[in-house]
Amino acid sequence: MPIGGSEKLVLDTCLALQKKGHSCTIFCTEYDPKKAFDELKSNQVQWFKYDAYFVDLCSACVPILRLTRKPVLFYCHFPDKLLRDTGRGKSLHKKRGGFIDRGYRLIMDKIEYFGMKTASCIVANSQYTKGVIHKTFPSLPLSKISVIYPPVNMPPKPTEILHHIPKEPDSFIDYEHKKDLWETSSFILSSINRIVPEKRHDVSIHALRYVKDHSHDIYSSSVLIIGGGCKPDNIEEFHRLQGLAKTLDVDSHVIFAPNFSDSDKSAIFSRTTCGLYPPRYEHFGIVPIEFMSQEICVVCDATGGPCESVGADKRGGLLVSTVVGESVAVSGQKFGRAVLSVLEMKDSEREHMGIEGKKRVDEHFGMDLYGSNILLLLEQKMSHVEVDLRKDYDAVDSTE
C-alpha cells in the first residue's frame, strides 16, 4: 500500500470502525511492508466476512460490488475526471492529450460517473470537493453526497522535545551537516508534503528568504524542514528545490528530509514552531490538521479544503490569499509575511493559537466523530432509514 493522504484515510476508516466493534479488511493493489503504516505492520486491521464495502479513489468496481446486494460507500477524494492519469493533481483542468488519450479518458470518465451513480452513497472529503463533484457530474443529486472530513490520527504531543532523530536510509540526508542548527534553533518551520511540483515547497523556500530579508535575527535562529515522500521519478524536483535554496542563499538553513519515518515525523512535529502548507486548491489537505492537533500554528493557502480545516475563524492558523498565475516568488513573499508574523508573536500568543487549533481538531476531525458518521451512513443504507450525521459543516465557495 503506497503511503499518502488517501491511503491513510482508508486505514483510519478501518481503525475507527474497529474501535466501534466492527471488523474491516483492506484490499489494495500494492503492499510494501517497508513503506507501510505502523498499524498495518502490527496487524491492527482484522479479517472477517463483509456486511458493507468502503471504496475510494476509483469507482469502477462499485457496480460489481453492488451485485452482492451489500451497501457500497464511495469516498471521493476528488473526481478522477479532473486529474490526468500521469502527474495526478498537477492541474484540475489540464488539456487532454491525443486521440487515443482522449478516447481512453472518455470511456474512463463514463465508468467513473456510472460507478458513483450506482454507489449506495457518496462521501466527499470537504465541502469544496462536494461542490466540485456536483459541478463535474451535475446529474448526481447533491442530496446523495455527504461530507465527512478525514480524521487526524496522530499520537499525543510529546511531553519532551525530541532533539535527536533516528538515522534511517534516505531520511534526513543532510542532518549530520546541520545537526547543531537543528538542535539549537529557536524556530523550526516545517513544510511537510510529497516532494512534487504541485505541493509548492518552493513557496516555503521563498518564504524563508523573506524572513531573512526582513528579520535577520529571527532568520539566524530558524531552520526550514522540507519533508515528505519522494519517489525516484520525482528526484528532479528534489534537486530543483535544493538548487533553489542555494540560489536564494538560504540553503544553510534548510534541511531536506525525504521519505522520513513515523519516528522522524514525531521528532519534527515535537520541535515545529510553524507549519507551512502552500499548495493551492487542495481537495482537503490532512497536514494542516496534523499540525493543529499538535498545537502548532499553520499557514495555508486560502483555497480549497484548507479553508475548512483552518476555518474562517482562523483559530489554529493563518490563510494566505494568492492569485492564480502569480510567480512563486510573490506567493513566497505573502507566505513569508504570514510566517514572520507568527514568529514575532509572544510565546503566549503562539501557544494560545496552538491550543485553539487543537480544540478545532477535537471538535471536527476526531477519529470517534469520523467513525460514528461513516457507521451512521452505512447503517442507514442497510436499514433504509434516513439518519442525520453527528456534525454538519458550513459550505464554502467552491467555484474559484
**pLDDT tens, position by position, 260-308:** 888 788 888 999 999 999 999 999 989 999 999 999 999 999 999 999 9
What pLDDT score does 218 carry?
97
Asked whether the predicted pLDDT for residue 166 surpasses 50, the reply is no
- If you average pLDDT over every residue of the chain, what do you get? 84
What pLDDT score does 163 carry?
59
343-358 mean pLDDT = 95
Q: Of the candidates 80, 70, 185, which has an alpha carbon nearest to the alpha carbon of residue 133?
A: 80
352 and 373 fall within a common domain: no
In a domain, residue 192? The reply is yes
- Selection from 93-102, 318-327, 384-393 with the highest mean pLDDT: 318-327
355 and 375 fall within a common domain: no
79 and 213 fall within a common domain: no
CA distance from start to end of the chain:
33
In a domain, residue 170? The reply is no
Provide the number of structural domains found in the chain. Answer: 2
126 and 199 fall within a common domain: no
72 and 15 fall within a common domain: yes
In a domain, residue 395? The reply is no
In a domain, residue 320? The reply is yes
In degrees to the nearest 10, what's the CA dihedral of 210, 272, 287, 361? -120
In a domain, residue 391? The reply is no
Q: Which pLDDT band holds residue 223 (cuts at 50, 70, 90)?
A: very high
What pLDDT score does 397 carry?
41
142-166 mean pLDDT = 79
143-157 mean pLDDT = 89
315-325 mean pLDDT = 91
In a domain, residue 164? The reply is no
137 and 213 fall within a common domain: no
Task: Check which CATH number belongs to the domain holding 52 and give it.
Answer: 3.40.50.2000
Task: Show the domain range for 347.
Answer: 176-362
In a domain, residue 140? The reply is yes
199 and 127 fall within a common domain: no
96 and 110 fall within a common domain: yes
206 and 283 fall within a common domain: yes
205 contacts 224 by C-beta, under 8 angstroms: yes
d(CA 377, CA 113): 21
